[in-house]
Amino acid sequence: MPVSLEARHLRKSYEGRVLLDGVDLRLGPGGITTLSGPSGGGKTTLLRVLGLLSEPDDGQLLLDGTDVRTLSPRAVRRRVALVAQAPAMFQGTVLDNVRTGPRLAGEELPEATARELIVRAGLEPQFLGQDARALSGGEKLRVAVARAMALRPEVWLLDEPTAALDTERADLLVNLLRDLATAGAGILVVTHDARALERLGGRHLRLAAGRLAEEAAA
């Protein structure tokens, strides 16, 4: 069931600095939204608030029309994937990492499914047995995408996902995100990568000094 994630008047400041100054945003099913802006402009904070890792000082977050404060945070987080710019890998193999989400919910992801997921994320199947912590930045990013896919999230939040990837790998990831959107997911990508921006298409927003503004795509 495709759902939307909606933010209303989000405000957050930290140590006297305003990071989000009344942000309204709707990530609808099947839509791709790209976001750019100066560093320190609040992009990562916005992703953290949308991913429920950080609490806004004010404002409301609705998942499928329901205030997330009335829902269990774990249940919401399982439905909203957050892929950090330099994702942390857990101890163990790539397979262990991809299995983490389902395992936390008491389910065992079949190895065949995990293999399928890492291939979709742009890694060769033989990566499954490798030590996840020993991978390169770009490989870790792709493991993080596969790891998130294992939960079949309805909303995706990605922070500079192509930054550590070469053009070919970046294109592959963009295609994957477009496929996920076609399948009904709502997607928000923070990126400054002009090629990715162009290929992702969709709506382009700019966040500066905590304020969100619509922009014509680059």
Partner 1 sequence: MSYVTVSIPQLVLSLGLMALAIAISSRNHLGLEKDLLVGTIRAAVQLFAVGLLLTIVFRNEHPASVFGLIGVMVLVAGWTAARRIAHGPGTGVLFRYATIAVFVSGVVVLVPVFTFVIRPARWYEARLLIPISGMILSNAMNGVALVFERVFASVHDDAPAVEQLLSLGASPKQAVDRHVRAAMNAALRPTINGLLTVGLVALPGMMTGQIVSGTAPDQAVRYQLVIMYQLVAVAAVAGALAARFARTLSFTDREQLRTFADRRVR
The residues binding partner 1 (CB under 8 A) are 51-55, 69, 73-75, 77-78, 81-82, 84, 86-91, 100-101, 104-105, 144, 147-148, 151
From the CB of 167, what's the least distance to partner 1, in Å? 27
Residue 129, classified by CB atoms within 10 Å of its CB into exposed (0-12), middle (13-18) or buried (19+), is exposed
Residue 195, classified by CB atoms within 10 Å of its CB into exposed (0-12), middle (13-18) or buried (19+), is middle
From the CB of 107, what's the least distance to partner 1, in Å? 11
Residue closer to partner 1 by CB (options 38, 110) is: 110
Write the CB contacts of 50 (distance below 8 Å, at least 6 apart in sequence): 5, 7, 25, 27, 61, 80, 82, 155, 157, 188
Number of Cβ within a 10 Å radius of residue 17 = 11
Residue closer to partner 1 by CB (options 155, 197) is: 155
From the CB of 73, what's the least distance to partner 1, in Å? 4
From the CB of 105, what's the least distance to partner 1, in Å? 6
Residue closer to partner 1 by CB (options 130, 175) is: 130
Determine the residue type at 56. Answer: P
Residue closer to partner 1 by CB (options 153, 202) is: 153
From the CB of 55, what's the least distance to partner 1, in Å? 6
From the CB of 87, what's the least distance to partner 1, in Å? 7
Residue closer to partner 1 by CB (options 104, 218) is: 104
Q: Where would I find the H helices in 60-105?
A: 73-79, 94-104
Beta-carbon-side half-sphere exposure of residue 177 (alpha carbons within 13 Å): 32
CA-to-CA separations, 162 to 92, 121, 158, 167, 215, in angstroms, rounded: 24, 12, 10, 8, 21
In whole angstroms, what is the distance from residue 217 CA to residue 2 CA? 25
Residue closer to partner 1 by CB (options 88, 213) is: 88
Tokens encoding 50:
């949308």
